[in-house]
């Protein structure tokens, strides 16, 4: 059974259809990447999986169960945004522990979980700082910490590295690979950066104007692009 399945998913905003009948399967533990030019519908797809956007028609199935009408916080899915979306008035520790606090977990439990996640993400010395005192890379680590603290089965990333400088992007890429290896979570990752996609993905979905042009592992796409658009986007010589 696929971890995530989209079946003929469509999305319209007003009269404009921006997702045009997408089918996809993402297996348990896979690192899936959506690539495609700006405006092709990557964020909209991710937001529908997260439950932040309704699905106009078709279905989103998680572990065999249709989730279209399930509230975002009941999906077992966490999302990391490009803009970090941290709470400015809370410390790093409070930001990371917030979702556990909402669940009503005991203080001591929360502190233990926060410390464990901080250790993994090298955030221990920063636990009492506030987001505005941190660098971009540190903020993005806090956002990742906040996402993984509940051990979600699925983690969604929407262009998480695009606000970081080139050197830090390369470093964060390898941190994401470690995160994937150690959590074994299923990851759905959006980027418009081909190199990032080729480095990170088990499976890449190439999108254009609300359609999936091709879905394959990186080598498959590179060796046998389905059309000129995919070839050009992936940087394949064919």
Nearest to 205 by CA among 34, 1, 17, 23: 34
To ligand ADP, the closest distance from the beta carbon of 227 in angstroms equals 19
> Which one of ligand ADP, Mg ion, none is in contact with 90 (Cβ closer than 5 to 8 A by kind)?
none
Confirm or reject binding of residue 42 to ligand ADP (CB under 6 A).
yes
- Token pair for residue 177? 């690979």
C-alpha pair distances (Å), 111 with each of 97, 116, 131, 188:
7, 9, 18, 28
CA angle 208, 211, 215 (to 5 degrees): 90
For Mg ion, give the closer residue by CB, 186 or 191.
191
> Which one of ligand ADP, Mg ion, none is in contact with 18 (Cβ closer than 5 to 8 A by kind)?
ligand ADP
The correct pick among 9, 24, 33, 40 for binding ligand ADP (CB under 6 A) is 40
The correct pick among 3, 43, 91, 92 for binding Mg ion (CB under 5 A) is 43
Confirm or reject binding of residue 44 to ligand ADP (CB under 6 A).
yes
Confirm or reject binding of residue 163 to ligand ADP (CB under 6 A).
no
Confirm or reject binding of residue 13 to ligand ADP (CB under 6 A).
yes
In angstroms, the CA 24 to CA 5 distance is: 6
Burial class (CB in 10 A: 0-12, 13-18, 19+), 130: middle
> Which one of Mg ion, ligand ADP, none is in contact with 87 (Cβ closer than 5 to 8 A by kind)?
none
Confirm or reject binding of residue 3 to ligand ADP (CB under 6 A).
no
Burial class (CB in 10 A: 0-12, 13-18, 19+), 68: middle
To Mg ion, the closest distance from the beta carbon of 20 in angstroms equals 17
Confirm or reject binding of residue 39 to ligand ADP (CB under 6 A).
yes
In angstroms, the CA 2 to CA 78 distance is: 18
- Token pair for residue 186? 């299923």
**What's the chain's Rg over C-alpha atoms?**
18
Strands 203-208 and 4-13: unpaired
> Which one of ligand ADP, Mg ion, none is in contact with 160 (Cβ closer than 5 to 8 A by kind)?
none
**Sites for Mg ion among residues 14-33 (CB under 5 A):** none
Confirm or reject binding of residue 191 to ligand ADP (CB under 6 A).
no
To Mg ion, the closest distance from the beta carbon of 56 in angstroms equals 18
Q: Which residues bind ligand ADP (CB under 6 A)?
A: 13, 18, 36, 38-44
């Amino acid at each position: 059974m696929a971890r995530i399945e989209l079946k003929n998913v469509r999305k319209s905003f007003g009269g404009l259809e921006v997702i045009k009948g997408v089918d996809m399967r993402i297996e348990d533990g896979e690192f899936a990447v959506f690539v495609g030019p700006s405006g092709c519908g990557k964020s909209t797809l991710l937001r529908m999986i997260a439950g932040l956007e309704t699905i106009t028609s078709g279905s989103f199935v998680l572990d065999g169960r249709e989730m279209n009408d399930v509230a975002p916080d009941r999906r077992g899915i966490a999302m990391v945004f490009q803009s970090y979306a941290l709470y400015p008035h809370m410390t790093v520790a409070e930001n990371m522990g917030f979702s556990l606090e909402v669940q009503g977990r005991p203080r001591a439990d929360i502190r233990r979980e926060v410390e464990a996640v901080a250790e993994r993400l090298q955030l221990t010395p920063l636990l009492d700082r506030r987001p505005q005192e941190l660098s971009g890379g540190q903020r993005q680590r806090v956002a990742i910490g906040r996402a993984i603290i509940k051990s979600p089965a699925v983690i969604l990333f929407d262009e998480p590295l695009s606000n970081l400088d080139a050197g830090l992007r390369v470093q964060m890429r390898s941190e994401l690979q470690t995160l994937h290896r150690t959590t074994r979570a299923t990851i759905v990752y959006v980027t418009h950066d081909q190199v990032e996609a080729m480095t990170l993905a088990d499976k890449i979905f190439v999108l254009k104007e609300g359609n999936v042009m091709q879905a394959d592992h990186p080598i498959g796409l590179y060796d046998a692009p389905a059309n000129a658009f995919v070839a050009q986007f992936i940087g394949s010589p064919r």
